[in-house]
Amino acid sequence: METRKVQVTGGSTYTVSLPKQWAKANDVSAGSIVQFYAEEDALLLSPKSETERLEGRLDVTGLEDDQLTRGVMTMYVSGFDIITLETPRISAAQRRTIREATQGLVGLEVIEETSERVVLQDLLDSSELSVHNAITRMRLVSLTMLADAVTALVENDEDLAHDVIERDDDVDRLWFMISRVFRTVLRDPMAATDIGLPRETVFDYQSSARQLERIADHGAKIAGLSLDLDEVPERAAEQLQSLHEVATTIPKTAMDALLTEDADEAVAQANRALEDVERIDAEAREADKVVRELDPQQAQLLGRVVDSLSRTADYGGNVAENALQRAAPSP
């Protein structure tokens, strides 16, 4: 760490010199323009970028299917505004995979295609994205998915089960968007100003969004298991519904704590959610006991449902911990 002494010039202007090594490394010289961003008692400085669009290139030679999809998603989440995917010759299968991956990401569109490259561009400005609205939507969709998955299971409703599985893509889309904004905010202090949230809050939202994405995954998992099961015995169905009701109370309460601006209320709600996590084990053990009385195949599949519902409670506890951190006084 280096220190500099503040000086006053012209009677009213405060000045401070820049570290020479930093200036050279960032191509800052006489006449360069730098940008300042105020964050409470801190002042962040960065060189003014010549271009507002961050461009990235990825060699996709040999990448197919999931590997190529992950490559596109990684570039998107990393914050690149323009993504060039290039190889000596792009195959038809690669083009299909790129288009499918692009459709699963908010704001990303194909803007150029040749035999050697595909260029993608994020058409949304960061100031147009609401992380608050995105995580609120994630909460609604993920918890609704879980409720519908349990309903599909106990009512043997295949159409509802398929619908739940399809909705998982909606949650993933929001998760990738929030992750992208989070990484952008870490890299560019101006991004936090654009979206109107402190960087600490974006971190708490991103961490909590990860928990909601996992809850949605378990909803899709339960829906998938329901397709492998016939009618669930009444006693087991009642026990699973009871476990679901208790388990989902925790992420609901935790999200209320995360999103409220009242610090005292946030602490009270978060602690209530964490206390409920400690009590979920007894409910899960009772459900597991009932499930084990069934035939081996049913017991094995429904045991996985019990596990998914128990994990939902744990994920809610993680959100509650994020809420406590957000409500804590600033150091």
pLDDT attached to residue 52: 63
Quote the pLDDT of residue 151. Answer: 97
pLDDT in the model for residue 235: 92
Enter the pTM of the model. Answer: 0.85
H helices present in 156-291, as ranges: 158-187, 189-195, 199-226, 234-259, 263-291
Digit-by-digit pLDDT tens for the chain (331 residues) are: 677 788 787 767 878 888 878 778 878 887 777 777 676 667 777 776 655 678 999 999 999 999 999 999 999 999 899 999 999 999 999 999 999 999 999 989 999 999 999 999 998 876 567 899 999 999 999 999 999 999 999 999 999 999 999 999 999 999 999 999 998 888 777 777 778 788 889 999 999 999 999 999 999 999 999 999 888 899 999 999 999 999 999 999 999 999 999 999 999 999 999 999 988 988 899 999 998 988 888 999 999 999 999 999 999 999 999 999 999 887 6
CATH superfamily of 129-327: Phosphate transport system protein phou homolog 2; domain 2 (1.20.58.220)
- How many residues are present in the chain? 331
Number of Cβ within 10 Å of residue 268's Cβ equals: 15
Of 273, 276, 242, 258, the C-alpha closest to 328 is 258
Q: Are 55-126 and 129-327 the same fold in CATH? A: no
Residue 156, both tokens: 């043997």
Burial class (CB in 10 A: 0-12, 13-18, 19+), 38: exposed
- Sketch the domain layout of the chain as residue ranges: 7-47, 55-126, 129-327
Structural fold of domain 55-126? Translation Initiation Factor IF3 (3.30.110)
d(CA 138, CA 247): 17
